[in-house]
Amino acid sequence: MEGERGRAAVRRLAVARLLSSTGSGIAAIALAAAVYEATGSAVWLSATFFLTFGVNGLLTPVAGAIADRFDRQRVMIACELAGALVWSVLLLGGGPVWLIGIGFVASVVSMPFYLSAGAALPNIVDPQDLVWGNSLLSSAGNTARVAGPALGGVIAAGPGPRTAFAINAASFVISAVLVLSVRARFRAEGGEEREEPDAGIWAGFRLVWRDPGLRSLTVVWTVLWLTIDVALVADLPLANVLGWGNRGYGYMNSAFGAGALAGSLLARKLPRRWEDRRWSWSAWVWQRATC
């Protein structure tokens, strides 16, 4: 695609991702707050986290297969409209089982959106703009990780979780309209893309298993994220014990997002020869912070 047209398309996709991800961050904080307010139980919180963002890790291969098989623009629009519908349905109930169950459905239907956007980039922009496009989409997502939780905490502490759910539904609709307005190729010419010799839903797992470096890194990060997620369950009860409430809980999650954003920006500046040292230091910092 011609340079400027491709860049304009990516900018719209980045705005769509910013809105969608910010709305999701708002709703995630409000959902946890609503469940904890109804139950006062960290066990219910654990179920909430597992069946919303936790399930993403289990179903990502399926979402990736959907993004590869179908027209990506249509997939993105369908995900956003389905997400808006599901979050609107969430407003009809209030019990913890209802909140967690509908939250699970909302997480599942939204997953292919982000994978489709990233996979479509090589067909939207010229090769020399690919790094720029990936960086812009990544920046939009990281910005949302900072803004979404902060706004979610404020809204949950003020107007309440239902307002947060309604805002999230509206953000999905606006995002779908933006994606619909993009005039670009979301797949290769003729709708066909080059088939890799080792393709399929399990291709990524086979790649990691065969590469000693990737295999070791996967094991390390699995353990690290396990310890982090165990600690995350305590954040909301801790915020309430300290008197910070939902607002403080949102700020805690926003600070986590800000750290991730700062880390990603710093990592881009480090020389390649420091790569092994960077991973070692990152692992050590995470281990000290979560133990």
Query: How many Å apart are CA 24 and CA 34, to the nearest integer?
Result: 15
Q: What is the pLDDT of residues 15-64, one digit of tens each?
A: 999 999 999 999 999 999 999 999 999 999 999 998 888 787 778 888 88
3-state SS assignment for residue 291: coil
Structure tokens at 114: 């982000």
Question: Residue 120 and residue 132: Cα distance in Å, rounded?
Answer: 14
CB atoms within 10 A of CB 271: 8
pLDDT of residue 199: 54
- What's the mean pLDDT in 107-136? 85
Read off the pLDDT of residues 204-236 as tens digits, 9 standing for 90 and up: 677 778 887 778 878 877 777 777 777 788 899
CA 184 to chain centre: 24
- Is residue 13 packed enough to be buried (19+ CB in 10 Å), middle (13-18) or exposed (0-12)? buried
For the beta carbon of residue 4, count every other beta carbon within 10 angstroms: 10
Q: What is the pTM of this model?
A: 0.82
Higher model confidence: residue 198 or residue 144? 144
Q: Is 170 exposed, middle or buried (0-12, 13-18, 19+ CB in 10 A)?
A: middle
Residue 214 CA, chain-centre distance (Å), reads: 22
Pick from 39, 48, 32: nearest CA to 153: 32
Q: How many CA atoms lie within 13 A of 197 on its CB side?
A: 0
How many Cβ atoms are within 10 Å of 119's Cβ, its own excluded?
18
Q: Which two tokens stand for residue 80?
A: 């956003």
Q: What's the one-letter identity of residue 20?
A: S
Tens digits of residue pLDDT in 56-115: 777 888 888 888 888 899 999 999 999 999 999 999 988 999 999 999 999 999 889 988
